[in-house]
Amino acid sequence: MFQPLGFEQRSVMTSLGKMVYYTATGSLWQDQVTAKDDRETLVFLHGFGGGSSAYEWSKVYPAFAAEYRVIAPDLIGWGRSEHPARSYTIEDYLTTIREFFEQTCTETVTAIASSLTAAFIIRVAAAHPNLFKSLILTTPAGLSDFGEDYSRSFFAQLVSVPIVDRLLYSTGIATSAGIRSFLEQRQFAQSNRVYQEIVDAYLESAQQPNAEYAALSFVRGDLCFDLSLYIQQLTTPTAIIWGKKSEFTGPSIGRRLAEMNPQAIRFFQQLENVGLTPQLELPAVTIGLIRQFLPLLN
């Protein structure tokens, strides 16, 4: 999915199939000093939604490739990773994310993750703190936080109807017009920040064979949970970035979550006039914040 210059595609096997990831390679980033690749590792993980993939961080992670070992995976069911034809569960992602870190990282790492995946990372880090050095998270939310039940929403109920779900996906989600509309109206704070390459990258991922299975599991609410029930278990030093105009979960929820565990969550940065994915909407600002947080957390 629009692989940046100087990066190559690799993969590992998880219990649910092949998980593809992108990492810096070659003389563009490495010289004789860095060729051993004993640098600290940054892992960038995309969120969920029709057409999501590692592309979501592709305007950010190349900025760190000269100094860090950079890894950006496509989660199972998304991008170029395998798409098992199944109804996905929370445990599927907690397990495959953990397996990915265990197979690609020998030392503790900094995980940089988005939205629901960031919430999964909090749970994985709470259960396996030995894997992580720090966390930098954009809009981490379980989407059913503080007792809100997303699965009872009208859209989630509609997508739970057989046949209707596939029809909605093929006609409303996995189309260029559908993706552009969602990005402009729901994901970004300013529609003029959506350009054609973003639409094309999301569309390519959304049209992979069996891509509807993971997307519909997400839209039905099968993967949502109450993050407030888990966040106090987190011990890994964490910074949170939250777009003020996030359509799905506003910054007030983010602050409530952060205040539940101030020992671990050391920074909460709200961004004005930004939506769900600051890494796509304002990548330069996101890069700057990550650079600021890394030494403070580590």
Crossing angle, helix 90-104 and helix 115-127, to 10 degrees? Answer: 70
With beta carbons less than 8 A apart as the criterion, state whether 242 and 204 touch: no
Q: What DSSP character marks residue 77?
A: T
Q: What is the CB neighbour count within 10 angstroms for residue 139?
A: 28
Residue (of 85, 91, 83, 75) closest to 20 by Cα position: 75
How much is the pLDDT for 2?
Answer: 82
How much is the pLDDT for 93?
Answer: 98
CA dist 98 and 76 (Å) reads 12
How much is the pLDDT for 248?
Answer: 82
The letter for the amino acid at 207 is: Q
Classify domain 7-297 by CATH number: 3.40.50.1820
Alpha helices (runs of H) in 31-171, residue ranges in sequence order? 90-104, 115-127, 154-159, 164-168
The pLDDT profile of the chain, 298 residues, written as one tens digit per residue, is 688 999 999 999 999 999 999 999 876 777 654 455 679 999 999 999 989 999 999 999 999 999 999 999 999 999 999 999 999 999 999 999 999 999 999 999 999 999 999 999 999 999 999 999 999 999 999 999 998 877 677 666 766 667 677 878 888 889 999 999 999 999 999 999 999 999 999 999 999 999 999 999 998 899 999 999 999 999 999 999 999 999 889 999 999 999 999 999 999 999 999 999 999 999 999 999 999 999 999 8
Domains of the chain, residue spans? 7-297
How much is the pLDDT for 1?
Answer: 63
What is the reported pTM?
0.95
Block residue for tokens 């639409």? 199
Q: What DSSP character marks residue 72?
A: E
Residue 207's alpha-carbon distances to 168, 201, 210, 230, in angstroms, are 14, 10, 8, 34
CA dist 1 and 82 (Å) reads 14
How much is the pLDDT for 26?
Answer: 72
How much is the pLDDT for 165?
Answer: 76
